[in-house]
Structure 1
Amino acid sequence: MRKIIWLILLNFGLLYGGNEMLLDSANAYNLVNRTNKINQSIITNSSAIIIFPTFVKAGFILGATIGRGVMLVRDDIPQEYIDDNISAHQNSIWSAVPVRLGGATIGLQAGYENNFIVMYVMNKAVIKDIYDNKLTLSASASVSFMDYGVNSEAISDMGLSDIYAYTNNRGFFVGAELGGSVITVDDKIKFDTASYGYEQLMQAISVIR
């Protein structure tokens, strides 16, 4: 059963080629930001943005979660915008890194669920851990999983979490179920920064609502 689950999830993830994934990530980012009230300071102060345009959870008793997406790492902020957070964000230079997320679950569960996830990384040490393939959610990074529609202007732990995560669906399974999931660089995917998908993704993240 476990092998069947992993094969289904792996084949689903591999359907996403690099350029198509960039375009899907742009669409996922736009949708998540339209359906959530995200504090501007989370967006503009993030060191990286991780977008999973597909995150699948499936299983029966033994389950698995897997996602493939892109991590946008903020490489540089033009000096002339350094005192204007929104302009600095909109004019930042980004690197696009393919990433994957995976984990296993056990317990009373059955079915299949597919969601978008957007994560704002506030701590640069988290980025290094992802590059080093040793980032485990909830273990090596504190994560605030924000509920659909939550007004994050009022969240009390602003600045205390390494990652703020948002999804497109109300009732998204609790963050605890992602505890132990690992985010790593995905060497099987290549991105073309001259592609239409990359252009659309850069346009999507530059919009501050």
Structure 2
Amino acid sequence: MRKPILLLLALLLVSSPVVAGEKESQTVRDATEVVQEIMKIPEKGIPPAMLRSAHAVAIIPGMIKAGFIVGGKYGRGVLVLKKNGDWKAPVFVRMIGGSFGWQIGAQSTDVVLVFMSEKSVSDVFSGKITLGADAAVAAGPVGRRVEGATDIKLRSEIYSYSRSRGLFAGVSLEGASLDIDHAADGLFYGREGIMPQSIVKRSVTSLPVPARRLLDALRQAAAGR
């Protein structure tokens, strides 16, 4: 009797990383779907010009906002750095935030952060940032009318969006914190303890298929296609 039990435990231990890694893969696939939705509504989506000028984009699919008098937000997603004109391997992140006021109920929404300053991205890689405190954040503009990002850079380091019912809109996320999800990075890339700086240096050909599809979607969205 003992041998079958030991064998079953061994199989569970071996398969657990695969199951957990699949959860991270699904997060990347969900993030890709959010980016693809940007392309479907060019007049009411995130301006391609902002994506072209961005230093990074964080995508939090299905962020949960819930509360009864005291509210809270929690979500898991990816941060995709852009360097030398191209998007790099995604790094997993978590967003946590709270709010106070008379509120009740729960909702799930997709959140996108467009990083317009290199410093704000570096701060995330160094630990975590609190939006509005460590980096200026503002609700982002929508539509193709935003063709240049020079003036945008001067006003805010990060622009935030939410997607609900197929439409993107600027959203206030002041007070929410964003940090690296090291455990998710290790599960997705199959290497425990891997650092974000090492992840972004990976060659595209070595990336898991969901990650490559996400980068392709970002390239198309930035090109306005």
**Match 1:72 to one of 76, 80, 88:** 80
Equivalent positions of 1:73-112 (< 5 A) are: 73-75=81-83, 77=84, 88=85, 92-112=86-106
TM-score normalized by structure 2? 0.70
DSSP-derived class of the 1:158 partner = helix
Question: How far apart, CA to CA, are the structure 1 residues paired with 2:147 and 2:71?
Answer: 35
Q: Which one-letter code corresponds to 1:22 in the other structure?
A: V
DSSP-derived class of the 2:183 partner = coil
- Provide Cα deviations, 1:85-112, integer angstroms capped at 9, x if missing partner: xxx4xxx251311001101112100111
- Which residue in 2 is equivalent to 1:205? 218
- Which residue in 2 is equivalent to 1:163? 158
Please identify runs of 4+ aligned residues in structure 1 that moved more than 2 A.
32-41, 146-157, 169-174, 190-196
**Is 2:31 the counterpart of 1:25?**
yes
- Which residue in 1 is equivalent to 2:208? 195
CA contact (8 A) 1:32 1:168 kept: no
Aligned residues: 180
Single out whichever of 180-189 and 142-151 deviates more from structure 2. 142-151
- Which residue in 1 is equivalent to 2:135? 141
Please, which runs of 5 or more residues in structure 2 have no aligned partner? 1-19, 190-205
Structure with larger Rg: 2
Deviation of 1:174 after TM superposition, in Å, equals: 4.6
Question: How far apart, CA to CA, are the structure 1 residues paired with 2:118 and 2:131?
Answer: 15
- Which residue in 1 is equivalent to 2:113? 119
Deviation of 1:189 after TM superposition, in Å, equals: 0.6
Q: Which one-letter code corresponds to 2:102 in the other structure?
A: L
CA contact (8 A) 1:74 1:95 kept: no
Q: Which one-letter code corresponds to 2:207 in the other structure?
A: A
